[in-house]
Amino acid sequence: MNRGVFMRKEIFEGPHAVERTISECTREAEEIAGLIKEMKVNQGFIIGSGTSFHASLHLQYLLTRYTELGFTAIPASEFNVWRPSKLSKYAIIGFSQSGESTDIVEAFKSSSENVLRFCVTNTPGSTLTRLSHKSLVTRAGEEKAVTATKTYDTQLTASYLITFSVAQSEGIDELWNELKGVPKQLEEVLKTEKKVKEVASKYKDVKDIFVLGHSINLATAYEASLKLKEAAMVHSEGFAVRAFLHGPIQLVDERSLVMLLVPDNGSYEYSKSVINKIISYKAPVLAILNKEIKPEVEMDTIEVPPISSLFSPLTLVKVIQLFALHLSLEKGLNPDKPTKLTKVVKESFK
């Protein structure tokens, strides 16, 4: 039985998918940005489910940081009860790999006619594209594994394209150029697979995995946790680094694993006191970190090439995808087909 064949193949297709999305989707991103500006919309909501919701959080961070737009990420299934009753002019941006998930399709259908609707999907001609004023169709190609990998890579990429197309701030041209170099960085990250396999073998029997992220990588921590649940069937939760001190740290012991996402020295310094506290409770720590960082305490590490923190979610998530894959295989599972999941969720509301 060939377990994990599709997931691994699609992880390794990620760099090319990102490269194609950058080169072929910029005009679509500019059209979305142009309509937002033309209609003078400065607020809205970003919706998605599962992995696509984590992409929504990523886009919220970028728009907040680099533009004057005020967008809030909401799970697609909650949009109908969270959407504003008295706000008449806003936009929604929907993320969906298939463009057919019931929750997001219903959210789009229920929005009023004066709401601008945009989508980021991997499926041209899908229901979501037909319900949208403008669409950005990512270039991930077919994804057969239920556990999303390269489609998440391209959703993150689309978020950069949309943000940079909207932004008017200085230095955006430099960021565009830096983004174009990311696919080569991703190829380098994939060379960590041998080390990732070794670490996955070491931790195949842990009962809990907590993933801690900060700033732009909070969404990455959430996505890591989801991948570990889906592929490796291990209890996992993602947290903001310091939020972990407010209750969840009570659960750590020698049978758990705490993963830290550390893209730069600033993140390491910010996380250092939390790392020390976790280690004092005898819990093992695994840091996915910039190879230029030299930890002051003993812990397992998987090193990634240096990259701007802005683009670190793309490099860090590739390591996470590999770790989830190999942890699953070490446990004798098939991450291509988790037993209780489907690629597209079409559960009825009734």
pLDDT digits over 100-157, tens only? 999 999 999 988 888 999 999 999 999 999 999 999 999 999 999 999 999 999 999 9
What is the per-residue pLDDT for 254?
A: 96
Q: Is it the case that residue 347 has pLDDT exceeding 70?
A: no
What is the per-residue pLDDT for 169?
A: 75
Give the class (CATH, top level) of 5-180: alpha beta
The answer to whether domain 187-330 has CATH 3.40.50.10490 is yes
Q: Which tens digits make up the pLDDT trace of 154-207?
A: 999 999 999 999 997 778 899 999 999 999 999 999 999 999 999 999 999 999
Q: Which tens digits make up the pLDDT trace of 5-30?
A: 999 999 999 999 999 999 999 999 99
pLDDT band per the 50, 70, 90 thresholds, residue 88: confident
Domain positions in the chain: 5-180, 187-330
C-alpha–C-alpha distance, residues 56 and 48, integer Å: 6
Cβ proximity of 318 and 289 under 8 Å: no
What is the per-residue pLDDT for 1?
A: 60
Give the mean model confidence (pLDDT) for residues 40-52.
96
Q: Which tens digits make up the pLDDT trace of 279-327?
A: 999 999 999 999 999 898 889 999 999 999 999 999 999 999 999 999 9
Q: What is the pTM of this model?
A: 0.96
Write down the mean pLDDT value for the chain. Answer: 95
| Equal fold, 5-180 vs 187-330 | yes
Q: Alpha helices, DSSP H only, in the chain?
A: 5-12, 14-38, 51-66, 79-82, 102-110, 127-131, 150-166, 172-180, 182-189, 193-202, 218-232, 265-280, 312-330
Q: Specify the DSSP element, H or E, that contains 236.
A: strand 235-240
Please give the single-letter amino acid code of residue 106. E
